[in-house]
Amino acid sequence: MDSRFAARARLKDAAVLLPFTGLFLLMPPFIGLFPPDARLAGIPVMVLYVFGVWGLLIALAALLARRLSASERRPPEPPPG
């Protein structure tokens, strides 16, 4: 029981942390690290970076949503009023 609560607490923390991670990665000064001229396979690295982080955050959010649903199934939440 304890370990399940602990796992759920960790998930909640991750859910809170995720948007701030995204904010950090997509805000200056960090996002300014990618020079506009650098290219990878013809595509500007900055564009790749922005969309790459975006995709990564989506994947993490999906994973988190699934885990949260799974962990919630056992201890039921109070029903919406």
Positions touching other proteins (CB under 8 A) are: 12, 15-16, 18-20, 22-23, 26-28, 31-32, 34-37, 39, 41-44, 46-47, 50-51, 54-55, 57-62, 64-65, 68-69, 78, 80-81
Q: For residue 8, what are the contacts with CB-CB under 8 A and spacing of at least 6?
A: 71, 72, 75
Q: Which is nearer to other proteins, 4 or 63 (by Cβ)?
A: 63
Q: How far is the CB of 48 from other proteins (least distance, A)?
A: 10
Contact 27, 33 (CB under 8 A): no
Q: How far is the CB of 6 from other proteins (least distance, A)?
A: 16
d(CA 20, CA 72): 23
